[in-house]
Amino acid sequence: MGQQRPPLLCDVAVLERTATDLSEKFSGFFPEQTVYRYVFESHTALRRTAKVKTHVVSLTRQFAIERLTALALSEGAIVKTVPEVLFVCVHNAGRSQMAAALLHHHAQGAVHVRSAGSAPADTINPAVREVMSEIGLDLAQEFPKPLTDDVVRAADVVITMGCGDACPIYPGKRYLDWELTDPAGKSAEEIRPIRDDIDARVRALLAELVPAAT
């Protein structure tokens, strides 16, 4: 009949502490129950695609904070002070991570950036991390995240990259589709021109969104 598995009470306890902590952080914005559901749904969504489960519990906190912030922004509970940009690719392991890091870097706070994937990979492409660290951008704290409705809703500009029409289309947002070579399986040498292509596009976008920032 198959084996019985022991409950990982430790993970659940950490998630519950995270939920309690974020309930306080987001009190006034969301009821406790909403925060709890977000924390546990975020955990399940990350865990589905993660091969190494040991990091999932700690990444859940960061992912849930990003989602709850996006939700509060899209519902008008937090006032938007800068344009919100969302980059979406298939794995959220290469193109959208590079674009997000580059835009965040150049914008210096004048734009808020998020990224997500239609089929998130387990980890960020190591060769992508390498070519980004060459230009002084560290992706060590980043991780592939599934595309969720809240981050689409919070965005003013949605930029898709090779993920087809995976992203829901809402009125009042600007949708762009960037045709870029997929860095999956490519060497650092092959990824450098992709990085530089993204860099040029990101700078042009920033100049358009916030002329004063460039």
Q: Which residues are at the interface with a copy of itself (CB under 8 A)?
A: 1-9, 11-12, 34, 37, 40-41, 43-45, 47-49, 53, 71, 118-119, 146-150, 152-153, 159, 165-179, 201, 204-205
Say whether 175 sits in a helix, a strand or coil.
strand
Residue 164 beta carbon to a copy of itself: minimum distance, rounded to whole angstroms: 8
Residue 159 beta carbon to a copy of itself: minimum distance, rounded to whole angstroms: 7
Nearest to a copy of itself of 105, 173 (CB atom): 173
Residue 133 beta carbon to a copy of itself: minimum distance, rounded to whole angstroms: 27
Tell me which residue of 190, 188, 198 sits closest to 133, measured CA to CA.
188
Residue 12 and residue 175: Cα distance in Å, rounded?
A: 38
Residue 28 and residue 72: Cα distance in Å, rounded?
A: 10
Nearest to a copy of itself of 54, 141 (CB atom): 54
Residue 72 and residue 173: Cα distance in Å, rounded?
A: 17
Tell me which residue of 33, 208, 206, 174 sits closest to 106, measured CA to CA.
206
Residue 140 beta carbon to a copy of itself: minimum distance, rounded to whole angstroms: 25
